[in-house]
Chains A and B, each alone.
Chain A
Amino acid sequence: MKDIVALVGNPNTGKTTFFNSVTNADEHVGNWHGVTVEFKEKKYKTKSKKEITLTDLPGTYSLSPYSFEEGVTRDYLLTHKNCKVINIADGNNLGKSLLLTLELLEMGICPILCINMATEIKKKGIEINVQKIKDWLGIEVYLCDAYNKKQVTEIVENIINFDTIYQNKLTYQNIISKKLDELLNLNIETFDKIKVLELDEYYIKRHNLSQKQIEILTKNNTCEYVLKTKYEFIDKILSQCVKYKSKEIYGFGKLDKVVLNRWFAIPIFVGIIFAIFFFTFGPVGTFLTNSLSLFFENIIFAPLIDLTKKLTTNKFIIDFVSFAVCGSLQSIVCFLPQIILMFLGLYILEDTGYMSRLAFSFEDYLKKVGLSGKSVFTLLMCFGCSTTATLTARNLENKNSKIKTAMLTPYISCSAKLPIYSVICGAFFPKHKFLIIIGLYLLGIMVALLTSYLLNKKVLKSENVTFAMEMPPYRFPSAKKVFKNVFVNIKQFLLRAGTMLFSFSCIIWILQNCNIKMQYGVGDSILQVLSGWLAPLFIPLGFGSVGVVTALLCGVVAKEIIVSTIGMVNGLGEKSGASQIANSILFSTSAFFLTKQSSLAFLVFATLYAPCISTASVMIKEIGFKWTAISLTIQFAVSYLISFVVYRVSTYFVCNGFVSGVISVLVFVAISVVIFFAVGLFKPKNACKFCQNRKYCNNK
């Protein structure tokens, strides 16, 4: 059998850092809990040319799983009995880490104990006597820094080359198992006895305990007895092996008195977000975007177009290269500086430990709609750009909240939607422009929160998110780690979403410029024909003209081009200004023409109807095709409904009076109820509320 070395430990003790140091992998590391949710394996060749597999398991507090990730860890250990185990412990909070070490020992696994954060605890004046811990536990113990490549490879080399002989030194084990013998007569192994006393469902089922037997155990409070005995043992070890200099509470710094203060928490957060926003979308980001796209235009695109012109005289190919290829590359390039800056902000916050505080402060608000506190970062970043914001959703710890958060991003008005609002409101409501724009922003937020609420109720439940959270201490962000994380994300964006974005944009360009017979530049383009077909669909919303639908379809490419498309279909030149475009909408002879009522419906529809291709590409990569498709369907349905109601209500109130208005509101409510129940039809199969369908779970 091939050698496997598994990394086991409490959340946020540095298992992944250890893993990355040994294997040079790029797995994501963060200063918060539950960054690793699935196990990851990587081959490693030792100095003696032996190939081993190193496995990074999700953090767990004990071998009685409470969440899906913890179930992964226990399953792995149960099915890989012969693997070698490195138990990573946090030197700052050794007592807690040792509980898991004891469980591993009880299970018959002989781990190597690596006490991480050697440098940090030395600075704090905590002294750990490694030799004494060795004597107490009877296993190899190392004090190390997980990021120190030399130290950790040495430990891995050691575990492979030496077979440790384990002597059981857990004196409490016999006392505990006697307790079970007193209560019940079971002939099972000691580890199983302890787990039965702890009332672990898996072991109770395994040994066929009757309801009556379980009652006896519950009555005698055996679980508390076992854990108390273990903690007493741990306290004995700690009192003899560890010396603390100060009585500081681990994970609660002096800064927390302010950062976590009930009144200051939100203003501080708003300040930080504003700063990141300013950098990403303000002058710095814009400057970088402009200079980068200028650079690409002159250095790469111009020569590329020239080259194509030399090679061929075919107008289609030349235009395809200069507009479709270069155009879509250009839009990807435009994203880069924003993504870099946003991830830089995110990872600096994450590495300092602020994200956990954020989760703490916002948990209350977002839990109500089924999101976790950390979603607030992604949601706020959506005001800048949904594409980059959707990428940041990958940092959420729970799969369901990640899907939900990613599904909400398109509702929130990104910066590209603002020009649409301002042109259309400028044309129809110059006096109330500001009010309507604010209303549209609020509408997006409300719809997002409501969607999340409904999804949480019916499909994507995430009750168990961050049930309990240990606070990581504040750490000074390490530049190396932050840049590595940003780099990895950029690489992934370019490889995964970038390629998809590129191909989508090229396809759309062909649709925009070729007719049905695939002839270039002759007659009506496929897109226009398509708009003609789709236009009747929008008659109930008041804007069923070909021009409007063309603009909306182009908006799927990027929201930025809606305004210029309006100009184009209305026959204005490429360089026409916003006011000219706004004026052209007012004339009923224009292709893109709206009335006061239908303009409101259009604004609502444009706010909600679909994400741009880049966001959709990122969504497909992050949450999968199925959820993206569901999200798009919901979005379209919701925007259609709301804009229908807005159009009808505004028309009826103007023309037919109050009663018809009320009737249409009732129709809207009825349709919403139908949708609400329709959503309930896709329920997850057999999901257990604790561990989300682990196979051994009894709670189904």
Chain B
Amino acid sequence: MEQKLSILKENQKAKIVKVLGDTHLKRRLMEFGLLSGQVVLVLSVSPLKNTFMISIRGYALALRKSILENIYVELL
């Protein structure tokens, strides 16, 4: 089932299905390696749950929740 990456909880793994957003943002996310088919793991969520730390292509990346809402994933 397709869902937004922003609803994932800590330690959940998912596969990216598509990345949305304006061109600017989308390109930057893809440059970070957030491309469809890649697997992401939520490493940590900040105290107010507005910032997520995810692992992508073997490194840790912190992103705001509002940005993660542009990324659709399939739970693994």
Residue of A nearest to B63 (CB): A468
Q: How far is the CA of A350 from the CA of B43 in the complex (A)?
A: 22
Are A252 and B55 in touch, CB under 8 angstroms? yes
Are B60 and A471 in touch, CB under 8 angstroms? yes
Given A95-B58, A468-B61, A252 contacting B31 (CB threshold 8 A): no
Are A95 and B33 in touch, CB under 8 angstroms? yes
Instruction: List chain B residues, Cβ under 8 A from A199.
Output: 23, 27
Are A66 and B24 in touch, CB under 8 angstroms? yes
Q: How far is the CB of B16 from chain A (nearest CB, A)?
A: 11
Are B28 and A468 in touch, CB under 8 angstroms? yes
Instruction: List chain A residues, Cβ under 8 A from B48.
Output: 364-365
Are B28 and A61 in touch, CB under 8 angstroms? yes
Most buried by B among A198, A227, A247, A250: A227
Instruction: List chain A residues, Cβ under 8 A from B46.
Output: 260, 262, 265, 360-361, 363-364
Instruction: List chain B residues, Cβ under 8 A from A360.
Output: 44, 46, 51, 53, 62
Q: How far is the CB of A188 from chain B (nearest CB, A)?
A: 19
Q: How far is the CA of A251 from the CA of B48 in the complex (A)?
A: 22
Are A260 and B53 in touch, CB under 8 angstroms? yes
Are B44 and A224 in touch, CB under 8 angstroms? no
A96: CB under 8 A from chain B? yes
Are B62 and A468 in touch, CB under 8 angstroms? yes
A99: CB under 8 A from chain B? yes
Most buried by A among B23, B48, B60: B60
Are A227 and B30 in touch, CB under 8 angstroms? yes
Residue of A nearest to B41 (CB): A249
B19: CB under 8 A from chain A? yes
Instruction: List chain B residues, Cβ under 8 A from A699.
Output: 24
Are B27 and A93 in touch, CB under 8 angstroms? no
A306: CB under 8 A from chain B? no
A223: CB under 8 A from chain B? yes
Q: How many residues of B contact A (CB 8 A)?
A: 33
Instruction: List chain A residues, Cβ under 8 A from B31.
Output: 61-62, 64, 99, 227
Are B24 and A690 in touch, CB under 8 angstroms? yes
Are A228 and B35 in touch, CB under 8 angstroms? yes
A524: CB under 8 A from chain B? no
Q: How far is the CA of A218 from the CA of B27 in the complex (A)?
A: 11
Are B47 and A265 in touch, CB under 8 angstroms? yes
A143: CB under 8 A from chain B? no
B4: CB under 8 A from chain A? no
Given A224-B36, A262-B47, A361-B47, A93 contacting B59 (CB threshold 8 A): yes
Contact among B30, B51, B67 with A364 in the assembled complex (CB-CB below 8 Å): B51
Q: How far is the CA of A224 from the CA of B57 in the complex (A)?
A: 16
Q: How far is the CB of A323 from chain B (nearest CB, A)?
A: 50
Q: How far is the CA of A250 from the CA of B62 in the complex (A)?
A: 13
Given A61-B28, A223-B30, A262-B47, A249 contacting B58 (CB threshold 8 A): yes
Residue of A nearest to B35 (CB): A228
Q: How far is the CA of A231 from the CA of B37 in the complex (A)?
A: 12
Contact-residue size bin, chain A (C-beta under 8 Å from the other chain): 35 or more
Are A96 and B57 in touch, CB under 8 angstroms? yes
Given A96-B33, A223-B30, A231-B33, A249 contacting B47 (CB threshold 8 A): no
A261: CB under 8 A from chain B? yes
Q: How far is the CA of A92 from the CA of B60 in the complex (A)?
A: 12
A241: CB under 8 A from chain B? no
Q: How far is the CA of A231 from the CA of B30 in the complex (A)?
A: 10
A309: CB under 8 A from chain B? no
Q: How far is the CA of A468 from the CA of B8 in the complex (A)?
A: 18
A476: CB under 8 A from chain B? no
Q: How far is the CA of A96 from the CA of B19 in the complex (A)?
A: 18
Instruction: List chain B residues, Cβ under 8 A from A66.
Output: 24, 28
Instruction: List chain B residues, Cβ under 8 A from A263.
Output: 47
A154: CB under 8 A from chain B? no
Given A249-B55, A251-B60, A260-B53, A224 contacting B35 (CB threshold 8 A): yes
Residue of A nearest to B57 (CB): A95
Given A256-B44, A363-B51, A471 contacting B67 (CB threshold 8 A): no
Q: Which of B1-46 contact A (CB under 8 A)?
A: 19, 23-24, 26-28, 30-33, 35-36, 41, 43-46
Q: How far is the CA of A534 from the CA of B27 in the complex (A)?
A: 58
Q: How far is the CB of A493 from chain B (nearest CB, A)?
A: 32
Q: How far is the CA of A461 from the CA of B19 in the complex (A)?
A: 27
Most buried by B among A198, A467, A690: A467
Q: How far is the CA of A621 from the CA of B61 in the complex (A)?
A: 34
Q: How far is the CB of A88 from chain B (nearest CB, A)?
A: 17
Given A61-B31, A467-B64, A363 contacting B53 (CB threshold 8 A): no
Are B61 and A470 in touch, CB under 8 angstroms? yes
Q: How far is the CA of A363 from the CA of B61 in the complex (A)?
A: 14
Are A198 and B47 in touch, CB under 8 angstroms? no
Q: How far is the CB of B29 from chain A (nearest CB, A)?
A: 8
Q: How far is the CB of A194 from chain B (nearest CB, A)?
A: 12
Q: How far is the CB of A89 from chain B (nearest CB, A)?
A: 13
Q: How far is the CA of A467 from the CA of B21 in the complex (A)?
A: 14
Instruction: List chain B residues, Cβ under 8 A from A471.
Output: 53, 59-62
Give me the 4 closest cross-chain CB pairs, A-B, nearest first. A364-B48, A251-B60, A364-B50, A252-B60
Given A249-B55, A260-B44, A468-B28, list of 12 further CB < 8 A pairs?
Answer: A61-B31, A93-B58, A227-B27, A227-B30, A247-B58, A249-B41, A250-B60, A262-B47, A364-B49, A468-B32, A468-B67, A469-B61
Question: What are 26 of the A-B contact pairs (CB < 8 Å)?
Answer: A61-B28, A62-B27, A64-B31, A66-B28, A95-B33, A96-B57, A96-B59, A200-B27, A201-B23, A224-B19, A224-B35, A247-B58, A251-B59, A256-B43, A256-B60, A260-B53, A363-B51, A364-B48, A364-B49, A367-B50, A466-B62, A468-B32, A468-B62, A468-B64, A470-B59, A471-B61
Interface of B toward A, CB cutoff 8 Å:
19, 23-24, 26-28, 30-33, 35-36, 41, 43-51, 53, 55, 57-64, 67
